[in-house]
A and B are shown apart, each in its own frame.
Chain A
């Protein structure tokens, strides 16, 4: 275990995996936070905008924006899982293989 651990730490692929995966995870986290807190700040300070009807109907801008926030959470998780379960897991597999 100890020898394996050192091998992994020294493997440039491990550094690459960590760098890529954390940059990706943090980027997506920030996007999610910006969308969510953007929505909350609109609720707190942009009530008039959210309450404005779209066109001549009664549906206000708040409805599609709220639904967009929900859908964006799902899409962002999908984007992460796709890359993590594909590209990153392949890299991870190579690292574990090379540590043996």
Chain B
């Protein structure tokens, strides 16, 4: 028994070192080979684009006020918003990345999925309704509610823009690679198409179009993944045990795929990663914005309930699909061939197959499985859904970035609130175009870089800068502007510095022999530092404004708890 676990440990350690970055990665890493043109996928993607542009046209006619543009008029229902939130969360990374993780390491993929999900109940219990009751368009509205606008909004906007930029780079590069692989299209074209479409959705249709694009994609992705899971289970008489048994027979690691490997090696890394995932989710500006699109706290709560259900269901599907990939890809077909494995590698290994021999890398496991269960047409469908997924996520990110610039920086910091709605929306639209063009350039610039760590960076910044000031502004009466600003910057800077000095960037990206900080994820430390900073610089703040800010807490508290004076839905 002991020796088996040692071997397992050694085998999984090699894969385990890469796990956090793999599952956080956009989709496809390194140089990929352009495939033959996939017409089914292109036609289905074209249908998606035409349908979503139609929705954008419809949304544009209904988007007049700032509230329409930023918050879809506050008229989205809890169920719709739950789907949209789930859509924002079910990125190509979680679909392809986690299915690929299960395909190569089995059970470990489940550990990862769980970490992504458990933040949601906490968001519901502690944040959702207060956020909805206090906010208007951006999370900075809440964070700066009783404080000096300029410093807090500047900090929140920087936190948002940093999060959005790193997330966008990862998505753009992932999109380019994925489309090259799936559609047989040029990288440059893929990146330009994503950039142009996201500009169109956001500038013309605002939050309403962005939300509906997200809802459609979530429904397509959930239906496609459900179909795959059902087809896989049907092959085994709907017995998961039979599926697992077959998987352990064909997988090179045998029975060990049913056991935890080296994903979690020491508790510090585990807790640090868990904290970054949990609190990072609660600090992502494009997710937080969604709470302002519903009518009231009641609908906000329902959104989280539905979102948690959809995301949890999706992860269970992904786990099944990953095991389906093992039995469909790693077992020979009727003629004794392995259609989804690299024939040269299989021949070189003398017919002994391993998951790594898969064509296009392990992140392609779900896509090949789609091919195996549903033929060319379904393969095209899943490829189109993967493209649509990236598109919907970048549209949400772009809107969040544009709002940080127009609503927080331009309207509140630069114009001190003396600005017309028209001007604010105009600035937002210009910013959207600028962000779109910049992301096309960044996508091209980072084409051959390893960008997997950037999603980790986005989560770390969201968890260490955005989340602490947001939470403390709602929960802690004694927080002052000085405390929030100092704590927020400490969190932001320490997260970035520790990530750069850690193994992923210092060793893997920059090529130094050893990392200065041994932890991949700075969450545990940078989040703690941010909270300590907020605490220390608030309690030592004896200024007059600090006293006024503390006095203003009661009114804020009543509004956050009861919704008295909260933003309603606009009349349509």
Real binding pair: yes
Binding site for B on A (CB under 8 A): 1-2, 4-5, 8-9, 14, 17-18, 21, 25-26, 28-29, 32-33, 35-37, 39-41, 43-44, 47-48, 50-51, 53, 57-60, 62-63, 66-67, 69-71, 73-74, 76-78, 80-81, 84-85, 89, 92, 95-96, 99
A-facing mask of B518-555, CB < 8 A → 1, else 0?
00000000000000000000000000000000000011
Inter-chain contacts of A66 with B (CB < 8 A): 107, 110-111, 113-114
In the complex, the chain B residue whose C-beta lies closest to that of A53 is: B258
**Are B259's CB and A60's CB within 8 A?**
yes
Binding site for A on B (CB under 8 A): 1, 5, 107, 110-111, 113-115, 117-118, 120-122, 124-126, 129, 240-241, 244-245, 248, 255-256, 258-260, 263-267, 270-271, 274, 297-298, 301-302, 304-305, 308-309, 312, 315-316, 554-555, 558, 561-565
Which of A25, A35, A47, A70: most chain B CB closer than 10 A? A70
Q: Complex formed: what's the CA distance from A79 to B83 in Å?
A: 19
Q: Complex formed: what's the CA distance from A69 to B245 in Å?
A: 23
Q: Complex formed: what's the CA distance from A53 to B557 in Å?
A: 51
Q: Which of B125, B259, B309, B563 contacts A80 (CB 8 A)?
A: B125
Which of A2, A21, A66, A89: most chain B CB closer than 10 A? A66
What's the minimum C-beta distance from A28 to chain B, rounded to whole angstroms? 5
**Are B555's CB and A1's CB within 8 A?**
yes
Which of B1, B241, B260: most chain A CB closer than 10 A? B260
**Are A44's CB and B267's CB within 8 A?**
yes
Q: Which of A48, A71, A92 contacts B5 (CB 8 A)?
A: A48
Q: Complex formed: what's the CA distance from A62 to B261 in Å?
A: 12
**Are A29's CB and B125's CB within 8 A?**
yes
Q: Complex formed: what's the CA distance from A17 to B564 in Å?
A: 14
Given contacts A40-B264, A62-B110, contact A73 B305 (CB under 8 A): no
**Are B558's CB and A70's CB within 8 A?**
no
In the complex, the chain A residue whose C-beta lies closest to that of B111 is: A43
Q: Complex formed: what's the CA distance from A69 to B304 in Å?
A: 17
**Are A71's CB and B555's CB within 8 A?**
no
Q: Which of B126, B255, B312, B562 contacts A8 (CB 8 A)?
A: B562
**26 A-B residue pairings within 8 Å (CB atoms):** A8-B564, A9-B554, A14-B561, A28-B121, A32-B121, A35-B118, A40-B111, A47-B259, A51-B256, A51-B260, A58-B241, A58-B258, A59-B241, A62-B107, A62-B110, A67-B110, A69-B117, A70-B117, A73-B120, A74-B309, A76-B121, A77-B120, A80-B124, A80-B301, A81-B302, A92-B561
What's the minimum C-beta distance from A31 to chain B, rounded to whole angstroms? 9
In the complex, the chain B residue whose C-beta lies closest to that of A35 is: B118
Q: Complex formed: what's the CA distance from A57 to B248 in Å?
A: 11
Inter-chain contacts of B256 with A (CB < 8 A): 51
**Are A59's CB and B244's CB within 8 A?**
yes
Q: Complex formed: what's the CA distance from A92 to B266 in Å?
A: 45
Inter-chain contacts of B1 with A (CB < 8 A): 48
Inter-chain contacts of B274 with A (CB < 8 A): 36-37, 40
**Are B259's CB and A51's CB within 8 A?**
yes
What's the minimum C-beta distance from B520 to chain A, rounded to whole angstroms? 15
**Are B244's CB and A29's CB within 8 A?**
no
What's the minimum C-beta distance from A51 to chain B, rounded to whole angstroms? 3
**Are A70's CB and B312's CB within 8 A?**
yes
Given contacts A17-B561, A37-B271, A81-B305, contact A69 B260 (CB under 8 A): no
Inter-chain contacts of A50 with B (CB < 8 A): 107, 259-260
Q: Which of B241, B264, B270 contacts A57 (CB 8 A)?
A: B241
**Are A77's CB and B121's CB within 8 A?**
yes
Q: Complex formed: what's the CA distance from A50 to B258 in Å?
A: 9
What's the minimum C-beta distance from B241 to chain A, rounded to whole angstroms? 5
**Are A77's CB and B263's CB within 8 A?**
no
Given contacts A40-B264, A44-B267, A60-B107, contact A92 B125 (CB under 8 A): no
Q: Which of A14, A25, A62, A73 contacts B117 (CB 8 A)?
A: A73
**Are A44's CB and B264's CB within 8 A?**
yes
Q: Complex formed: what's the CA distance from A33 to B115 in Å?
A: 11
Known pairs A70-B316, A77-B120, A81-B304 / 20 extra A-B pairs, C-beta < 8 Å: A14-B561, A28-B121, A29-B126, A32-B125, A40-B270, A43-B111, A43-B270, A48-B5, A59-B241, A60-B107, A60-B259, A62-B259, A67-B110, A70-B114, A73-B117, A73-B308, A74-B308, A77-B304, A80-B121, A92-B563
